[in-house]
């Protein structure tokens, strides 16, 4: 008494489970591809954001203050650091003379045996270095802020700035930080 071939009552259920499993795997694979595509597209921006956050934390950690000028004996001296790169946020230039003075602020070339930025200074830093010419009125103090720091790259291990002007009659104060 056979009613025909015997059917397995679980067969449609197993087919649905298999179909559900395939859909789940395809959906998961699609999500992974989407995440990888997004991370590849946004990775440079994320990397830049992280680097910016770290720079903001690191740069102001070592404050710097120094003075440069020319003594009354016509001895030139610079200021700076041997511990990293100098970032200048403010220059304060004062003319103590009773006549107009021209002051040049520049990245100096140092003697090969110079142990610090104090010198001896042998000249300017070259064609791509920092060089500013300022004219100050008698007894004038000029404050020059740099909202984005003026970066003085190190040359032979020295990140320096110097000034030239009337001997003993001007002063340049340098405020910033070392990175």
pLDDT at 173 (0 to 100): 92
pLDDT at 71 (0 to 100): 74
Please tell me whether residues 19 and 90 are part of one structural domain: no
- pLDDT score of 2 more than 90: no
Q: How many domains in the chain?
A: 2
Q: Does residue 21 form part of some domain? A: yes
Rounded Cα distance between 54 and 52, Å, is: 5
Q: Which two tokens stand for residue 80?
A: 């700076």
Q: What is the DSSP string of 125-176?
A: --TTS-EEEEEE-TT-EEEEEEEEEEEE--BTTBEEEEEESSTTSEEEEEEE
Q: Does residue 5 form part of some domain? A: no
pLDDT tens for 75-87 read: 777 888 888 888 9
CATH assignment at residue 140: 2.60.120
Please tell me whether residues 153 and 128 are part of one structural domain: yes
Q: Does residue 6 form part of some domain? A: no
Assign 111 a pLDDT band (cuts: 50, 70, 90): confident
Please tell me whether residues 130 and 80 are part of one structural domain: yes
pTM over 0.85: no
Please tell me whether residues 76 and 145 are part of one structural domain: yes
42 is in which domain, residue-wise? 11-59
Please tell me whether residues 24 and 97 are part of one structural domain: no
Rounded Cα distance between 163 and 165, Å, is: 7
Nearest alpha carbon to residue 94 among 59, 133, 60, 137: 137
Assign 50 a pLDDT band (cuts: 50, 70, 90): low
Helices (H), the chain: 11-58
Contacts of 94 (CB under 8 A, 6+ apart): 136, 140, 141, 142, 170, 171, 172, 173
Assign 143 a pLDDT band (cuts: 50, 70, 90): very high
Please tell me whether residues 81 and 152 are part of one structural domain: yes
pLDDT at 154 (0 to 100): 81
3-class SS at 98? Answer: coil
pLDDT tens for 27-48 read: 887 777 776 666 666 666 666 6
Please tell me whether residues 139 and 101 are part of one structural domain: yes
Please tell me whether residues 53 and 68 are part of one structural domain: no
């Amino acid at each position: 008494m056979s009613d025909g071939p015997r059917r397995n009552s679980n067969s449609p259920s197993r087919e649905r489970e298999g179909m559900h499993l395939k859909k789940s795997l395809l959906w998961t694979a699609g999500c992974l591809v989407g995440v990888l595509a997004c991370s590849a597209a946004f990775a440079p921006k994320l990397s830049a954001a992280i680097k910016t956050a770290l720079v903001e934390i690191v740069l102001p950690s070592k404050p710097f203050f120094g003075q440069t000028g020319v003594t009354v004996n016509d001895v030139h001296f610079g200021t700076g650091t041997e511990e990293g790169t100098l970032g200048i946020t403010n220059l304060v230039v004062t003319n103590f003379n009773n006549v107009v003075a021209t002051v040049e602020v520049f990245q100096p070339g140092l003697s090969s045996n110079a142990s610090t930025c104090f010198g001896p200074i042998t000249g300017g830093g070259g064609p791509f270095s920092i060089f500013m010419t300022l004219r100050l009125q008698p007894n004038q103090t000029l404050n020059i802020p740099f909202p984005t720091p003026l970066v003085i790259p190190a040359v032979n291990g020295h990140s320096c700035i110097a000034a030239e002007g009337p001997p003993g009659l001007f002063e340049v104060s340098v405020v910033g930080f070392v990175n």
